[in-house]
Amino acid sequence: MTKPTVLLLGKIDHATKEWEALSDVAELQICDSKNREEFIKDCAEGGKWDGVVAVYRTFVSVAITGLIDEELISKLPKSLKYICHNGAGYDQIDADACTKAGINVSNVPTAVDGATADTAFFLLLGALRKIQFGLNQLRRGEFKNKCPIGHDPAGKVLGILGMGGIGRAMAQRARGFDMEIIYHNRNRLAPELEAGAKYVSFDELLAQSDVLSLNLPLNKHTRHIISTKEFEKMKNGVVVVNTARGPVMDEDALVKALESGKVFSAGLDVYENEPEVHPGLLKNENVILVPHLGTHTYETQYTMECVVLDNVRSAIEKGELNTPIPEQKK
């Protein structure tokens, strides 16, 4: 009996043995299409990827396929039933179009929480202390020459926009630094998940936060959820941290708010037009910047890869995904 075919879009860096072990239930293929046009051609009836049942997809594979949008979904093999995405955010995939096409999608919803929250808190501390200024100065051969004075986290109000797994992990870390925690979600959490954090409206979150941490998914409702009018509602001297997705914040508006002093500093791991970074952010030494390193640890990436592979195996063996995206949960 012929085994179903699984296609790898991108690269597996750590769980290579687990990938190879899938060969006991599936025929394994690695995508060598060079671009979107070639990929679509290879997906056509009689093409290289005709007959593929499940796809293991990485974030960077967008460079090959482009977005998995309605156009691309209409060109995918009719045999394709599962897309197993390696990442918590899946904004590169049109979930509604996949559902209409009968394609089930999974993500990695919890394995990223700790590493991303660690990165966010590193950026929070760095932004509060304006640490980037001192780092740059030191590399120029200067030593503490007119370094701006920063702030302690203790006693500050941390506002978390998006109290999912990463937001809750962020709150857990903030408690150790004696910060007061408020949050806003579409829905209030159960008391045991709040763990003492105070639920507030969106406008109250903007008005009360000394530090605002963005931990929400990117979708059509959250794009530029933080822009000029939102900055106007914030405290003077607010600190902003973003480890979610770049486009949830209007970078032009952020640059202007930094230049005016409305925003004291910012800590950013994600950018609106990655890999490009707004020149106004690059030149501002009050901003601490890292290149999308939120989950860039061996332990987290290995775990993420294993979660995706477990989804693929479950799809092949049971016809269901372990971690379906929220839009497709039954």
Q: Are residues 105 and 121 in the same domain?
A: no
300 pLDDT tier (thresholds 50, 70, 90): very high
Segment 279-290 mean pLDDT: 96
Segment 298-323 mean pLDDT: 98
Q: Are residues 82 and 119 in the same domain?
A: no
How many Å is the maximal CA-CA distance in the chain? 73
Number of structural domains (the chain) is 2
Q: Are residues 129 and 258 in the same domain?
A: yes
Cβ-contact 123, 268 below 8 angstroms: yes
Residue keyed to tokens 């460079």: 63
| Residue 205 exposure: Cα atoms within 13 Å on the Cβ side | 25
Of 85, 129, 184, 245, catalytic: 245
On whether residue 61 sits in a domain, the answer given is yes
Of 14, 36, 224, 292, catalytic: 292
pLDDT at 292: 96
Q: Which residues of 240-279 are buried (b: 16+ CB within 10 A; e: fewer)?
A: bbbbbbbbbbbbebbbebbeeebbbbbbbbbbbeeeebbe
Query: Does residue 151 have an active-site annotation?
Result: no
pLDDT at 329: 87
Q: pLDDT digit string (tens) for 9-64?
A: 999 999 999 999 999 999 999 999 999 999 999 999 999 999 999 999 999 999 99
Q: Are residues 317 and 241 in the same domain?
A: no
pLDDT at 215: 98
Q: Are residues 101 and 119 in the same domain?
A: no
Give the global pTM: 0.92
On whether residue 294 sits in a domain, the answer given is no
Upstream peptide bond of 275 is cis (omega within 30 degrees of 0): yes
Distance CA 6, CA 163 (A): 34
DSSP character at residue 276: B
Query: Does residue 245 have an active-site annotation?
Result: yes
Q: Are residues 284 and 324 in the same domain?
A: no
Residue keyed to tokens 């477990």: 310
Of residues 265, 215, 216, 205, the one with CA closest to residue 238: 265
Least confident of 110-114, 167-171, 326-330: 326-330
Q: Are residues 285 and 148 in the same domain?
A: yes
On whether residue 183 sits in a domain, the answer given is yes
Q: Are residues 129 and 80 in the same domain?
A: no
Segment 244-273 mean pLDDT: 98
Note down the domain range covering 44.
5-111+299-328
Q: Are residues 192 and 125 in the same domain?
A: yes
Q: Are residues 74 and 91 in the same domain?
A: yes
Distance from CA of residue 31 to its chain's centroid? 24
Give the full edge-to-edge strand order of the sheet including 211-214: 198-199, 180-184, 157-161, 211-214, 238-242, 263-268, 287-289
Q: Are residues 125 and 242 in the same domain?
A: yes
Q: pLDDT digit string (tens) for 87-100?
A: 999 999 999 999 99
Cβ-contact 56, 308 below 8 angstroms: yes
Residue keyed to tokens 């839009």: 327
Cβ-contact 329, 308 below 8 angstroms: no
Query: Does residue 140 have an active-site annotation?
Result: no
Residue 282 CB neighbour total at 10 angstroms: 11
pLDDT at 1 over 80: no
pLDDT at 212: 98
Q: Which domain CATH number covers 79?
A: 3.40.50.720
Distance CA 174, CA 158 (A): 8
